[in-house]
């Protein structure tokens, strides 16, 4: 299975942590742009899909479901 697959409301880990120290994010918008929300401080970031796929490390929701 590819870790780069994601859907709405999945929890993903990014390569670099947010300035608050958290690196787990929830996907809250999927389309040409992806919006993710930090699970610690609730800030959201909007980025192009290509940038998101490049910066995403793994999908934690899919890993938990496959166990």
- The total number of structural domains in the chain stands at 1
Is 48 within a domain? yes
- Lowest-pLDDT range of 2-6, 37-41, 47-51: 2-6
6 belongs to a structural domain? no
Question: Which residue in the block uniquely carries the two structure tokens 């780069």?
Answer: 4
pLDDT in tens, 4-25: 789 999 999 999 999 999 999 9
**Extended beta strands in the chain, E state:** 11-14, 24-29, 33-38, 44-48, 56-59
Global pTM reads 0.84
- The answer to whether position 23 is within a domain reads yes
Range of the domain at 26: 11-62
Residue 36 lies inside a defined structural domain of this protein: yes
* 1 part of a folded domain: no
The verdict on residue 57 lying in a domain is yes
Domain-embedded: residue 19:
yes
């Amino acid at each position: 299975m590819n870790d780069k697959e994601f859907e709405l409301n999945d929890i993903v880990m990014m390569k670099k942590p947010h300035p608050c120290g958290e690196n787990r994010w929830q996907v809250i918008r999927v389309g040409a742009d992806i919006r993710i929300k930090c699970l610690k401080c609730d800030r959201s970031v909007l980025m192009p899909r290509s940038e998101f796929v490049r910066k995403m490390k793994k999908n934690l929701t899919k890993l938990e479901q496959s166990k």
